Amino acid sequence: MMKFVQISKNKKQEFKKIALDYGRKLYRQLQSTSLFHKEPQNTGPVSTIACDYGHSKIIFVEMQKSESGLHLIRFHKSLRSDGNKVGVDMIKKIFTDGKYSHSRVRVSVKGQGVVVRFIQFPQMKHEDVRSAISFEAEKYIPFKAEEVIIDYHVLDENIVQGTGTFMNLLLVAVRRDELNPVIQTFHEAGLQVEFVDVDALASMNSLEYFHPEEWKKSVGFIDFGAEISSLCIIREGKPRFMRDISFGGMDFIKRLKRKLGVTEEKAREHFLQAADKPSPEVIPIIQESVETLIADLKVSLDYYLDQIPNAQPLQKLFISGTEAYHPQVVQMLSKEFSIPVEPMNILEKLTLGPDVDKRLVMENQGFLPVPIGLCLRDQ
């Protein structure tokens, strides 16, 4: 359950006295791997490289952001084979063939080892927040503090409730045993991980850049993964709710495979072909899968509206992932929730470099919000 959790005001002094040494130690450790790591801004055009290192695919982009806009310099997508060593070899080949300009890479993570919580602390100085979180972390996450890398972002401050004043925080924790192998893979490939982010948070950067007007409203987006999807809600330019849903693109493929008695490859073909040429045999199966997704979304949205302070109904729902461009998915979600549902409109504000295959980008634009969002993060 993701909700705002209060801690008693009288613990503020206890945090300062007991957690200070531990917090300083953890802070030094986090500085090199911070999920929200930032460096001083560079005023000139900056080339950034990002990788969406998913369980079923690897997507690399190299971007430049300048006064003239956002430029996609390089783009590559590969299906990921099982095994960490294969991933190393694949990354080496991608970089060699793609002629990327440097070896610094931004990476995103997703899955059961990633935990996001919205919590509430008594108002305190920013230098005291990290110590407080270090001391109280295990109250909010299902792991021991030493098992994870933890970071946070302050959402709101000086919130008056009753006789106290509070601050709202976004807390992110990633299990070390899931994060370290990813970093090691890139290290063995001869690359330097510049920073690590979470898929959903990276996608939010894309949403803010490509849809600034909707970003200021009450909107949601679904980031479709292979096995797990993330529902995120933004209100007035700030994340207010995030929840993983045990539904992904493979749910469509597995159901088609089982009901049609075909191979996984053939099931994937049926799914993609049904977008342009609806088949009376395939469409009902896709609709069954979407109904499962809708049921999960209803539970999450009802919880958000009932339990999250100042929650507002969604005005629009964005979707990303290859499934985002399937008309059956868009139509059923829009009809069920009575709001506009659409993929992010990325290509309108994106200039493609001469070495980029436009057709390949068009076919995979549903995957772009995560890696582009990584590149959009301030340096």
Parse the chain into domains and list their residue ranges. Answer: 9-198+368-376, 244-342
Tokens for 101, please give them.
């300009």
Q: What is the pLDDT of residue 66?
A: 86
Task: Number of helices (H) and strands (E) in the chain: give both, helices first.
Answer: 13, 14
pTM for this one?
0.84
Q: 70-112: per-residue pLDDT in tens? A: 999 999 998 775 544 557 888 898 998 999 999 999 999 888 8
Confidence of residue 270 (pLDDT cuts 50, 70, 90): very high
Confidence of residue 378 (pLDDT cuts 50, 70, 90): confident
CA terminus-to-terminus distance, the chain: 32
Do 9-198+368-376 and 244-342 show the same overall fold?
yes
Q: What is the pLDDT of residue 363?
A: 87
CATH topology of domain 244-342: Nucleotidyltransferase; domain 5 (3.30.420)
Return the SS3 of 64: strand
* Residue 168 pLDDT > 50: yes
Residues 6+ apart with CB under 8 A from 206: 320, 344, 346, 368, 369, 370, 372, 373, 376
Q: Cα separation of 107 and 102, whole Å?
A: 15
Does domain 9-198+368-376 bear CATH number 3.30.420.380? Answer: yes
Residues 6+ apart with CB under 8 A from 314: 218, 219, 220, 233, 301, 337, 339
